[in-house]
Amino acid sequence: MNDNDTKRLSRLTAILTQLQTKRLLTATELAKKFSVSNRTIYRDIKALEDAGVPIVTEEGKGYSLMEGYRIPPVMFTESQANALIVAEQLVLKNKDASFVKDYTEAIEKIKAVLGHPIKDKANLLAERTRFSQNTNSEKNSNNLSQLQFALTNFCVTSIDYTNETNKATNRLIEPFALLSTQENWLLVAWCRLRKEFRYFRLDRIKTLKVLPDKFTPHKMTLQEYFDKYH
């Protein structure tokens, strides 16, 4: 096997991993990622199809794998998948580029075994989580996992919250994003009591209950939220 064959086999394997990781990919996206031409990607997709991989082509949209094609060898719960996403965000802050690259590739392989519903929720959580370097480990929370679930499943959440003046209130909130600051975890949520987006420090949430009631997802990214409200 010559060097070109080795590179192509490596690329075919990587394309298959990408298809398992994401719901829909275009030839242009794949060509850019692997620094090849669109024509090369067309040939690669044909090669995978000839090998028996059930690739679905949606005209004008891109490629995806037939639903249920791959039975995951490892089953992750939603909470475990969310924990991996948080770990990924922390690793991306690391200054060692090679370490970040290796970990990112490993996470992509892990995401490839997630079913689409959990994968979509994990990707949403990744988009709605921001980190700063947290140097103070004393202030923490036992509610992060529950809030991740509420955020990705659009569940109304009831909290008993104590503000900076030590006044306690009960709030019904719609979790939107999670931020890690120098000292605390912050939750961005729509507060039904105040009828606006508010920040809530997780260490001031005394009790939390994820309710069965669903809220309508807020149709904006975290960056769009920052642009609009800051």
pLDDT tens sequence across 72-121: 455 567 777 777 777 777 666 655 566 567 667 777 777 776 777 877 88
Residue 16 has pLDDT above 50, yes or no: yes
Beta partners for residue 208, in sequence order: 159
Which structural domains are found in the chain, ordered by start? 3-65 (1.10.10.10), 78-127 (no CATH), 144-229 (2.30.30)
Contacts with 101 (C-beta within 8 Å, 6 or more apart), sequence order: none
pLDDT digits (tens, 9 = 90+) for 126-144: 788 876 655 444 445 678 8
Number of H helices, E strands in the chain: 8, 8
Residue 4 has pLDDT above 70, yes or no: no
pLDDT attached to residue 105: 74
| Count of other CB atoms within 10 angstroms of residue 51 | 9
Residue 116 sits at the vertex; the CA angle it makes with 29 and 123, to the nearest 5 degrees, is: 60
Give me the mean pLDDT over the 142-153 stretch. Answer: 88
Residue bearing tokens 């990214």 = 221
CA distance 71 to 79: 20
> 127 and 177 in contact (C-beta within 8 Å)?
no
pLDDT attached to residue 140: 54
pLDDT digits (tens, 9 = 90+) for 178-202: 987 766 789 999 999 999 999 999 9
Residue 176 sits at the vertex; the CA angle it makes with 170 and 177, to the nearest 5 degrees, is: 110
CA distance 91 to 113: 21
Contacts with 207 (C-beta within 8 Å, 6 or more apart), sequence order: 159, 160
CA distance 122 to 8: 30
pLDDT attached to residue 1: 47
pLDDT attached to residue 66: 83
